[in-house]
Amino acid sequence: MILYDYCRSSAAYRVRIALNLKSLAYEQRAVNLVSGEHREDAHVQRNEQALVPVLEDNGMQLSQSLAICEYLDEAYPETYSLLLGTPLERANQRAFALAVACDIHPVNNLRVLQYLVGEMGVDAEKKMQWYHHWIHTTFRALEAKLQKRKTPSAFCCAEQVTIADICLVPQVFNANRFAVDMTNYPLIKAINARCLEMEAFAKAHPDLQPGA
């Protein structure tokens, strides 16, 4: 498998964690988001949306990190499962993951921040205010959801890592990178720390990737 990714892309970080948890071998090809390599023809041929990650498997190129994670689970069921338990439990794990992937990530994505600054004339301070606001809005909700669990577990939704943790950890990395105050999120911080102790997460860390 070939993973087209970028060290600090949180969507690609999710897929790296998933591949590592499932012990699947992959080759990495860095696509530099800072220099705009993702908008060049070669990458747009892989993903018309000009975004990373793209996973190539059996000659086919897939985009969208969560679709890729579910593909990996379906295509390689003999390895670690990213979704666990009953349909209700699995839906709960997806809901947690989607809160990050659909409700934080898209509004804080590079192209949105670039549009705010470029087309909308927003200054650097207001851009950071925007960035922090959307993280706090969903982290507050997720922390409350974790507090309310009837049976508290070591990870977001279970005693094992699921797709929920795979989405949470890269988002916490982004929050820390941009100095978001995490004081009010003790459970998120504890789960993040627990995940980072695991090899699958440690190996996927942005600082250890090509081009970091």
- Rounded CA-CA distance 165/32 in Å is 26
Applying CB under 6 A, among 7, 21, 52, 69 the residue interacting with ligand GSH is: 52
Cβ-based burial of 12 (10 A; exposed 0-12, middle 13-18, buried ≥19): buried
Report the residue number, 10 or 209, with the smaller CB distance to ligand GSH.
10
Residue 93 and residue 108 in contact, taking contact as beta carbons nearer than 8 Å:
no
Task: Work out the number of other CB atoms within 10 angstroms of the CB of residue 42.
Answer: 10
Choose the stretch contacting ligand GSH; rule: CB under 6 A; options: 48-56, 128-136, 155-163, 204-212: 48-56
Angle, CA of 117, 120 and 125, to the nearest 5° = 45
What is the smallest separation between the CB atom of 66 and ligand GSH, expressed in angstroms? 6
Q: Does 111 bind ligand GSH (CB under 6 A)?
A: yes
Q: Does 17 bind ligand GSH (CB under 6 A)?
A: no
- Rounded CA-CA distance 72/18 in Å is 8
User: Between 192 and 211, how does the x/- string for binding to ligand GSH read (CB under 6 A)?
Assistant: --------------------
Choose the stretch contacting ligand GSH; rule: CB under 6 A; options: 51-59, 129-137, 154-162, 179-187: 51-59
- Rounded CA-CA distance 28/6 in Å is 9
Report the residue number, 67 or 154, with the smaller CB distance to ligand GSH.
67
Give contact residues for ligand GSH (rule: CB under 6 A): 9-11, 33, 38, 51-53, 64-66, 101, 109-111
